[in-house]
Amino acid sequence: MKRVESYRHLSDIPSMNGLYNKMNEIIRDASEHRSKFAVLCVDLDDFTLINNSLGNETGDKVLIEIANRLKTIMRHYDFLVRQADDEFIMLLTHLESYDYLDQIVTRIQDSFRSPISIDGKSIAITISIGISLYPEHSSKPEELTQFANIAMYFSKSTGKRACTTFNHNMNDDIDIKQRLVKELKTAIEEKQFRIYYQPHVDSRNNKIIGAEALLRWQHPNHVVVLPRDYLIIAEETGLIVEIEKWIISEVFQQMHLWETQINFRIPISVNLSIQHLQRIDFINQIESMMDLYSIFPSLVTFEISENTLVSLDKQVKLSLDHLIELGFGLCIDNFNVEYASLEYIRAHPVNQLKIDKDFIDGIYNNKKDEAVIKSLVSLSQELDMDIIAKGVEHDNQVSFLSAINCHMIQGYYYSKPLDVADFESYIKYHTK
């Protein structure tokens, strides 16, 4: 077994200085021997959360441990440098074929499936990887590094925890992304967004018991932009905070109009991002809007992702605790039984869990998905929480869910997301 000397300090990890000289040497050798090599950009996901919640000293220790894990996977003629705070460049040299590259990537990903232990704290780590290849993509060190970085950012844009190999179409996609950011800023300024409402229905009596507020972009050029595309960009750029402030204000105003004009109250769910919850002025904004529109907090549930709940950010947890103290409901979207999530809901009054559409799609198709759904429903009953099945589209799905006592349904089976006028018509029709 080879012995790998561990890094003890951040300064021990080679920096970018001399990387291009090293790559030029590798290129000359690869050209002479007609071999290949790969450039990997390895980035730690959500490193800012670790620094903000646990401090820079702990963050440095995490980076050292990451470098050591990567080093144990490398061969003696591979090369590792630290590119930025939480980014590393790996050069995998002397590749006769790319089969070995696949093995290395798998080993890297596997090495981060177990959490990092720092000073008694267990820290879950995920990484995003981008790859460029010599000679396929370029024979210039600067371009190979740039292409690996571009591929890494594509991995992040697909939901992180991914590995992407560069292709030259990505340059066009980068231009598209930059244009989308510009258009998003214009959309915020010109109020091009609209709120749609998708009903929550009790399958036992087909009564409407609530709705989720969903964002839709009314693009001036009539271009269809899918929410998952622009919301990812909004989160990456921080624009999501301004967008969500507008959403909450619009929803609160609409709830006020329904109560004062047609004497109608309905529970509404609103999505919240981790970026918004990190803002120290978030609770003050919520309280101001709540007072302005005379909102009963018991009628509003804020939906957060499980990743938000298990984040290490102290401000996020503080914001969530304040929301609960004010009387708002809390729903965990796409719940998937992470240990940290279970710890939080055991200690705090979370009101709802939502079953992700991916599991719903597996009903009568995948026994494992069915088992997960049954366990989530059982857990919600034991913890006295509501549970909502999201993305329900078919009779057999409703039948399966009813049989295991999951009766709160959201999805196209009952209704697509509706604008305000259509939602009001839907309510009137179903409450005759």
Contact 348, 322 (CB under 8 A): no
Statement: residue 402 has pLDDT above 90: yes
Share of the chain above pLDDT 90, in %: 48
Helix then strand count (H, E) for the chain reads 17, 15
Residue 297: cis peptide before it, omega within 30 degrees of 0 = no
Q: Strand runs (DSSP E) across 166-258, as ranges?
A: 193-202, 207-217
User: Rounded CA gap, 424 and 416, in Å?
Assistant: 14
User: Which helix (H) or strand (E) covers residue 333, if one does?
Assistant: strand 329-333
State residue 336's pLDDT score: 62
Where do runs of H (alpha helix) occur along 191-226?
none
* Residue 201 main-chain phi, psi, to 5 deg: -125, 140
The length of the chain is 432
**Among 106-110, 252-256, 348-352, 391-395, where is mean pLDDT lowest?**
348-352
DSSP letter string over 31-53?
A: HHHT-EEEEEEEEETTHHHHHHH
Statement: residue 240 has pLDDT above 70: yes
**Parallel, antiparallel or unpaired: strands 121-123 and 127-134:** unpaired
Q: How far is CA 398 from CA 245, 358, 380, in A?
A: 35, 15, 18
- 396/313: higher pLDDT: 396
At position 217, the amino acid (one-letter code) is W
- 309/116: higher pLDDT: 116
Where do runs of H (alpha helix) occur along 76-226?
99-111, 141-157, 169-190
Beta-carbon contacts of 208 under 8 Å, excluding residues fewer than 6 positions away, are: 199, 200, 201, 266, 426, 427, 430, 431
What residue ranges define each of the domains in the chain, with the CATH number in brackets?
10-167 (3.30.70.270), 177-430 (3.20.20.450)
Contact 128, 152 (CB under 8 A): yes
User: Rounded CA gap, 272 and 274, in Å?
Assistant: 7
Share of the chain above pLDDT 70, in %: 91
Radius of gyration of the chain (CA): 25
Contact 404, 241 (CB under 8 A): no
pLDDT tens track for 96-139: 777 778 888 888 988 888 888 888 888 888 899 999 999 999 99
Mean pLDDT (the chain, rounded):
87
**Parallel, antiparallel or unpaired: strands 36-44 and 207-217:** unpaired
Q: How far is CA 431 from CA 200, 299, 424, in A?
A: 14, 19, 11
Beta-carbon contacts of 306 under 8 Å, excluding residues fewer than 6 positions away, are: 332, 333, 334, 335, 336, 338, 341
User: Rounded CA gap, 209 and 68, in Å?
Assistant: 52
**Among 208-222, 332-346, 389-403, where is mean pLDDT lowest?**
332-346
Where do runs of H (alpha helix) occur along 158-278?
169-190, 227-237, 240-262, 274-277
**Among 6-15, 239-248, 380-389, 412-421, where is mean pLDDT lowest?**
6-15
**Parallel, antiparallel or unpaired: strands 408-410 and 386-390:** parallel
321: left (phi over 0), alpha (psi -120 to 50) or beta: alpha
Statement: residue 1 has pLDDT above 60: no
How many beta carbons lie within 10 A of that of residue 9, not counting itself?
A: 8
User: Rounded CA gap, 83 and 132, in Å?
Assistant: 15
pTM for the structure as a whole: 0.67
User: Rounded CA gap, 191 and 250, in Å?
Assistant: 11
